[in-house]
């Protein structure tokens, strides 16, 4: 796939993903707003019902109080039953049904009640005192009250004809809290709340808290309802209820829906990321494959061409008289054939390691001997370029358990890379040291170095550090991948330290004792 096509495809998928996520968030937000509106409606309905309940309770309380308090009438003392219309004066005695010992003072009568009537119901009260026409008290039944008095008695319970009762005396805080709790529970509202009753001066006269900050929140953000709306001539009082965790509570009530929405959104994002990653990775693999094929073609083309020329030369009849030239061409064919064998072996070896079909033939190995063997094979190439190949053995125990062939190839590949990526007059140093339960073998060079962003990728199969249009270093990108696979098989590891234009140091950690896979 072309780069422009991939960019366009990623752009379209990104737009679609952003659109889906935006719609998802819009839907969730609308759902929360709708739930908030339903919550507000339920709270306002509950408060309206509570206001009605409080007014009904207050009315019943005052009506009961009026029944318990009685008016006592002063009437002339006579043997005949007196009509209530002959009322002389009314005396309010509060909630005391027994007027004994109460001082009675009026325009027509003054004195003290001395004894009750002997019969129940309406009757004469004996008393002493002075008055123009009245010398006793008479208590008629409510049914005998005059119509005007009944109207006055009824209206006095609702209109502010006399002294007003403060709202804090008309409302019991604990009773109000119980009403709120029961009403909210009936409507499915199961979250904490705070309440307060405010007068017209915005003062809290009844509240569930004494915290000033909370009272301010109740006043500014609480749901409001007027109390005792039938009190037309009294000052207005308002009940306000505030829910500190309202938004969190609403989200908790929707957690199943929100969780499902979040899961689906996450699945979409993961699928999108995986798709993009796969597309990009496939493109990289395609580029690596093409690079590998090109490198393989060039690597195979040179020895094949050399062998072809040598064969043509050997076919020349003039060479039959020169055994020395014939031997040179034969040696050339043998060397190039060995080179082809090494190339094919590297590819096959990497494929076998990737499949996990390699079984290590472990034995006790002296790594100093392995390093000397590699140096013996590489020393001629290093000297041809005017370089140096040195060893620094600082280990006290060079013995490890491992596969000699693979460990030899590891040291050879690292040394070969150091030689290929070093300038003229390369300086290569192979050192050993002990660290914990491992033997550390380091190969240091003064080469071109590896950029930091590529250091973690160089161990990937077929990966080569980009060099632009410069192709002066031959290779397939299999060497370091092979080294890492071998170290993984030996339960070891490989690290790299590199700086641009200063060189690189590759270190392999080989356990002294091999522990096979379980």
At 46-82, the pLDDT tens digits run 999 999 998 888 887 776 555 444 444 444 344 344 4
Give the tokens for residue 130: 């002075």
Distance CA 269, CA 306 (A): 55
Distance CA 93, CA 212 (A): 43
Distance CA 75, CA 108 (A): 9
pTM of the model: 0.46
Half-sphere exposure (Cβ direction) of 83: Cα atoms closer than 13 Å? 3
Distance CA 47, CA 490 (A): 76
Distance CA 2, CA 196 (A): 70
pLDDT bracket for residue 398 (50, 70, 90)? very high
DSSP collapsed to 3 states, 330-366 = HHHHHHHHHHHHHHHHHHHHHHHHHHCCCCCCEEEEE
Strand-pairing partners, residue 109, are 131
Burial class (CB in 10 A: 0-12, 13-18, 19+), 35: middle
Give the tokens for residue 261: 């929405």
Buried b (16+ CB within 10 A) or exposed e, 88-97: bbebeeeeee
Least confident of 34-43, 156-165, 265-274, 375-384: 156-165
Domains in the chain, CATH or no CATH each:
3-65+165-253 (no CATH), 255-347 (1.10.287.130), 358-511 (3.30.565.10)
What dihedral do alpha carbons 30, 31, 32, 38 form, nearest 10°?
110
Q: What is the pLDDT of residue 473?
A: 55
Q: For residue range 112-165, what is the model confidence (pLDDT) as tens digits?
A: 443 334 444 434 443 444 444 433 343 333 444 455 554 555 555 545 444 567
The pLDDT mean for the chain works out to: 76
Residue 395: helix, strand or coil by DSSP?
coil
Least confident of 43-47, 184-188, 455-459: 455-459
Residue 391: helix, strand or coil by DSSP?
strand
Strand-pairing partners, residue 432, are 393, 441
The arithmetic mean of pLDDT across residues 211-227, rounded, is 92
User: What contacts 24+ positions apart, CB below 8 Å, involve 76-81?
Assistant: 76/133, 76/134, 76/135, 77/124, 77/134, 77/135, 77/136
Half-sphere exposure (Cβ direction) of 43: Cα atoms closer than 13 Å? 23
Pairing of strands 109-115, 103-105: antiparallel
Positive or negative, the Cα torsion across 199, 204, 208, 213?
A: positive
Contacts of 339 (CB under 8 A, 6+ apart): 303
The arithmetic mean of pLDDT across residues 158-178, rounded, is 74
For residue 143, what is the DSSP state? G
Q: What is the pLDDT of residue 147?
A: 54
Is the pLDDT assigned to residue 262 strictly greater than 50? yes
Percent share of the chain, pLDDT over 90: 21
Q: Which helix (H) or strand (E) holds 280?
A: helix 255-314
Give the tokens for residue 30: 């609308």
Q: What is the pLDDT of residue 325?
A: 78
Residue 223: helix, strand or coil by DSSP?
strand
* Residue 453 region by backbone torsions, left for phi larger than 0, else alpha for psi between -120 and 50, else beta: alpha
Q: What is the pLDDT of residue 400?
A: 94
Q: What is the pLDDT of residue 311?
A: 85
CA angle 419, 421, 427 (to 5 degrees): 45
The arithmetic mean of pLDDT across residues 5-12, rounded, is 81
């Amino acid at each position: 796939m072309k780069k422009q096509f991939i960019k366009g495809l990623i752009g379209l998928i990104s737009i679609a993903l952003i659109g889906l996520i935006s719609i998802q968030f819009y839907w969730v937000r609308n759902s929360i707003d709708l739930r908030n509106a339903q919550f507000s409606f339920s709270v306002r309905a509950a408060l309206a019902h509570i206001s009605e309940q409080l007014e009904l309770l207050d009315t019943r309380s005052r009506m009961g109080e009026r029944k318990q308090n009685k008016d006592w009438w002063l009437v002339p003392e006579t043997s005949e039953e007196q009509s209530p219309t002959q009322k002389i004066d009314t005396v309010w005695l509060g909630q005391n049904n027994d007027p004994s010992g109460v001082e009675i003072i009026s325009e027509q009568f003054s004195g003290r009640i001395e004894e009750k009537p002997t019969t129940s119901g309406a009757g004469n009260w004996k008393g002493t005192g002075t008055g123009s026409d009245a010398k006793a008290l008479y208590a008629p039944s409510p049914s005998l009250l005059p119509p005007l008095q009944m109207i006055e008695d009824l209206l006095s319970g609702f209109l502010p004809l006399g002294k007003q009762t403060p709202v804090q005396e008309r409302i019991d805080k604990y009773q109000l809290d119980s009403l709120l709790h029961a009403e909210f529970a009936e409507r499915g509202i199961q979250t904490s709340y705070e309440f307060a009753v405010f007068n017209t001066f915005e003062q809290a006269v009844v509240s569930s808290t004494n915290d000033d900050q909370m009272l301010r929140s109740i006043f500014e953000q609480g749901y409001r309802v007027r109390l005792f709306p039938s009190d037309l001539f009294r000052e207005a009082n308002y009940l306000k209820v505030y829910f500190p965790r309202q938004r969190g509570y609403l989200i908790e009530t929707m957690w199943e829906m929100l969780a499902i929405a979040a899961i689906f959104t996450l699945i979409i994002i993961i699928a999108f990321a995986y798709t993009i990653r796969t597309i990009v990775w496939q493109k990289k693999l395609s580029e690596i494959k093409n690079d590998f094929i090109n490198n393989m073609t060039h690597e195979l083309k040179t020895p094949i061409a050399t062998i072809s020329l040598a064969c043509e030369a050997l076919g020349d009849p003039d060479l039959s008289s020169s055994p020395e030239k014939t031997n040179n061409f034969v040696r050339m064919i043998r060397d190039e054939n060995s080179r082809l064998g090494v190339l094919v072996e590297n590819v096959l070896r990497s494929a076998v390691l990737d499949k996990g079909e390699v079984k290590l033939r472990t034995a006790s190995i002296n790594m100093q001997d392995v390093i000397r063997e590699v140096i013996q094979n590489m020393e001629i190439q290093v000297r041809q370029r005017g370089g140096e190949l040195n060893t620094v053995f600082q280990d006290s125990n060079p013995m490890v358990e491992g596969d000699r062939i693979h460990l030899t190839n590891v040291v050879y590949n690292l040394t070969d890379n150091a030689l290929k990526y070093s300038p003229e007059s390369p300086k290569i140093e192979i050192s050993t040291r002990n660290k914990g339960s491992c033997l550390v073998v380091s190969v240091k060079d003064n080469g071109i170095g590896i950029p930091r962003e590529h250091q973690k990728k160089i161990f990937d199969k077929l990966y080569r550090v980009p060099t632009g249009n410069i192709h002066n270093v031959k290779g397939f990108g299999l060497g370091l991948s092979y080294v890492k696979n071998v170290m993984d098989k030996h339960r070891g590891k490989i690290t790299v330290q590199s700086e641009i234009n200063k060189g690189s140091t590759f270190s392999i950690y080989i356990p002294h004792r091999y522990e096979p896979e379980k």
